[in-house]
Amino acid sequence: MKCEEVRKRMHQINVELEKISLMEIKFPKGELICTKNGTRYKWYVKDKEGTIYLPKSKRRMAEKLAYKKYIGCRRQELECELSACSVYLQRVISTEGKSDQMRLHPEYRKLLGKYCFPLDEELRKWQSDRYERCKKHEDALVIKGTQGKMLRSKSEAIIDMMLYKNGIPFRYEEKLILNGITIYPDFVIRHPKTGEYYYWEHFGMMDEEEYRNHACEKIKLYCDNGIIPSINLIATYETKDHPLSIEQVEKIITEYFLV
């Protein structure tokens, strides 16, 4: 419970205790005692002078004394709760705010994300945060994508558009180090329901031998690091005669992230 919630509760208790104090002034003197006599109860009033029998004709008096006793029990409960709240504040006040400071710390926030933040909030922040992107061959970034980013091909633009359209959080060409080797996956994606990481590589020139060899080496590097095709690695391919289609991308996104 937050300290402000405790203070609010203490205020509510004090308000109720003030009302009880005003009520107690109007109660009759003495304490009601109910004792069983066979199948019935007898009423008695106990005060400093002793205990006297209260006949059934004095029901109105008995009701007031019963309510007085109830209110007395309520006062004890409230005073006990108030005392507990006070002790809680005394012990917590010295550390108040430290957990919030950790939540706001840039590095701790990354580590605590799945524990301390609602997934939607954490994923939105992840997508909007700055990250280290690929700076190689920036002159090849000629295709305009969503949110002002520039991409390297029309096929990447299709993937970018469909991820964005379906509200899938992702980053384009974010730096990733595997076995000491720096690579830049085309898309690093977070599952919108689980927050799990996925990587999408589009290999767009599979009819070229050198490119094919490089693509196979890259896939092996992923596999050696537990990033496996059809599990958390999405790989799409195309040649000049077989370009990537929107229908293919839609099917993949639905299968991985929307079902």
**pLDDT per residue over 29-82, tens digit each?**
999 999 998 899 999 999 988 999 999 999 999 999 999 999 999 999 999 999
Q: Domain of 24?
A: 3-96
- Domain count for the chain, please give it: 2
At residue 135, φ and ψ (nearest 5 deg) are -110, 5
pTM of the model: 0.56
Whether residues 142 and 89 share a domain: the answer is no
Which CA distances in Å does 215 have to 79, 109, 116, 131? 72, 34, 38, 24
Considering the domain architecture, whether residues 139 and 79 belong to the same structural domain is answered as no
Do 230 and 142 reside in the same domain of the chain?
yes
What's the chain's Rg over C-alpha atoms? 35
Angle between helices 246-253 and 154-165 (to 10 degrees): 40
Is 155 inside a domain boundary? Answer: yes
- The verdict on 135 and 248 lying in the same domain is yes
Is 115 part of any domain?
A: no
Share above pLDDT 70 across residues of the chain, in percent, rounded to a whole number:
95
**Co-location of 92 and 170 in the same domain:** no
Q: Are 238 and 204 in contact (CB under 8 A)?
A: yes
pLDDT for the residue numbered 97: 65
| Residue 93 DSSP label | T
The answer to whether residues 41 and 140 belong to one domain is no
Helix, strand counts (H, E) of the chain = 8, 11
Q: Is residue 104 part of a domain?
A: no
State whether 84 and 186 are in the same domain: no
